């Protein structure tokens, strides 16, 4: 169960990073490195986390021409990250190129597609991006293309997991942010589920940030969530 909880190290300073690392090392097992952390501290940050036995989800959401993404995925694969992601909206040729690049350097990592960002509303999607229909329809269609391109799964809302698994099979991975324990504030997340609900819905990995990282004791908050989902 421990590997199902991925903690985003969304911090701005080295001191904050070191504090979280110290709190969670030896307890939690999976860290998410996003753009802010990677661009500020570079690839060494991945080594620092690995030395504390963390698995790594490198959340860089690549989106460029197929050749560029191919080479970028190969370089990132050499860092032996456990999960890497690209934007599904880059299209199937880009995703196939990403997959080939990633698998050239890293046989065991998971390559995941980002469908619609949770910040994209139906209004933005219809009137600014010129994509018709509902967000859910677009997520399912992008997930379908992601699977056909040979990727291992998608990042999606826990509310979409059942539909995606029913359509694309239970082995197609669903990584879900927007997780909030009962009685915890929503922050800026809109479509939330509790950790237990997300596990029941079939989510493979829960990305849980502020409820853990901003708690008085991140370690205690993590262990409480782990206990809750372990009863499932």
* Residues marked as catalytic: 61
- Identify which of residues 60 and 117 has a Cβ nearer to ligand C5P in the complex: 117
Closest to 35 (Cα-Cα) out of 55, 2, 63, 15:
63
Tokens 């329809």 found at: 137
CB of 209 to ligand C5P, least distance (A): 2
Identity of the residue, 61 or 70, whose beta carbon is nearer to ligand C5P in the bound complex: 61
User: Burial letters for 137-162: b for 16+ Cβ neighbours within 10 Å, e otherwise?
Assistant: ebbbebbbbbbebebbbbbbbbbbbe
Q: How far is the CB of 208 from ligand C5P (least distance, A)?
A: 5
Minimum gap (Å) between residue 9 Cβ and ligand C5P: 9
* Residue 87 bridge partners (DSSP): 114
Min dist. Cβ of residue 185 to ligand C5P (A): 10
- Using DSSP's 3-state secondary structure scheme, residue 192 falls into coil
Q: In this structure, are residues 29 and 57 in contact, taking their beta carbons and an 8 Å threshold?
A: no
What residues make contact with ligand C5P under the rule CB under 6 A? 8, 10, 34, 117-118, 155, 177-178, 187, 189, 207-210
Q: Kindly report the CA angle at 100 between 96 and 102, in degrees rounded to 5?
A: 115
Q: By Cβ distance, which residue is nearest to ligand C5P?
A: 209
**Strands, DSSP E only, in 109-211?**
110-114, 153-155, 173-176, 205-207
CB-nearer residue toward ligand C5P: 71 or 210: 210
Nearer CB in complex with ligand C5P: 153/209: 209
CB of 175 to ligand C5P, least distance (A): 8
Nearer Cβ to ligand C5P (118/203) = 118
Burial grade of 127 (CB within 10 A; 0-12, 13-18, 19 or more): exposed
Helix, strand or coil, per DSSP, at residue 75 = helix
Supply φ then ψ for residue 153, to 5 degrees. Answer: 170, -170
């Amino acid at each position: 169960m421990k590997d199902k909880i991925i903690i985003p190290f969304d911090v701005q300073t080295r001191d904050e990073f070191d504090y979280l690392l110290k709190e969670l090392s030896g307890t939690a097992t999976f860290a998410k490195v996003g753009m802010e952390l990677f661009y500020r501290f570079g690839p060494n940050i991945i080594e620092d986390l690995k030395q504390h036995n963390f698995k790594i989800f490198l959340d860089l959401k690549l989106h460029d021409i197929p050749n560029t993404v191919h080479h970028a995925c190969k370089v990132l694969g050499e860092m032996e990250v456990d999960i890497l992601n690209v934007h599904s909206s880059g299209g199937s040729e880009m995703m196939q190129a990403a997959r080939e690049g990633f698998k050239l350097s890293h046989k065991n990592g998971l390559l995941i597609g980002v469908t619609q960002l949770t910040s994209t509303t139906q209004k933005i999607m219809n009137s600014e991006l010129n994509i018709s229909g509902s967000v859910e329809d677009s997520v399912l269609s992008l997930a379908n293309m992601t699977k056909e391109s040979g990727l291992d799964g998608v990042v999606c809302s826990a509310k979409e997991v059942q539909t995606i698994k029913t359509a694309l099979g239970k082995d197609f991975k669903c990584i879900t942010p927007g997780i909030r324990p009962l009685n915890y504030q929503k922050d800026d997340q809109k479509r939330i589920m509790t950790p237990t609900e997300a596990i029941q819905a079939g989510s493979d990995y829960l990305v849980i940030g502020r409820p853990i990282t901003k708690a008085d004791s991140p370690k205690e908050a993590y262990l409480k969530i782990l206990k809750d989902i372990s009863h499932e």
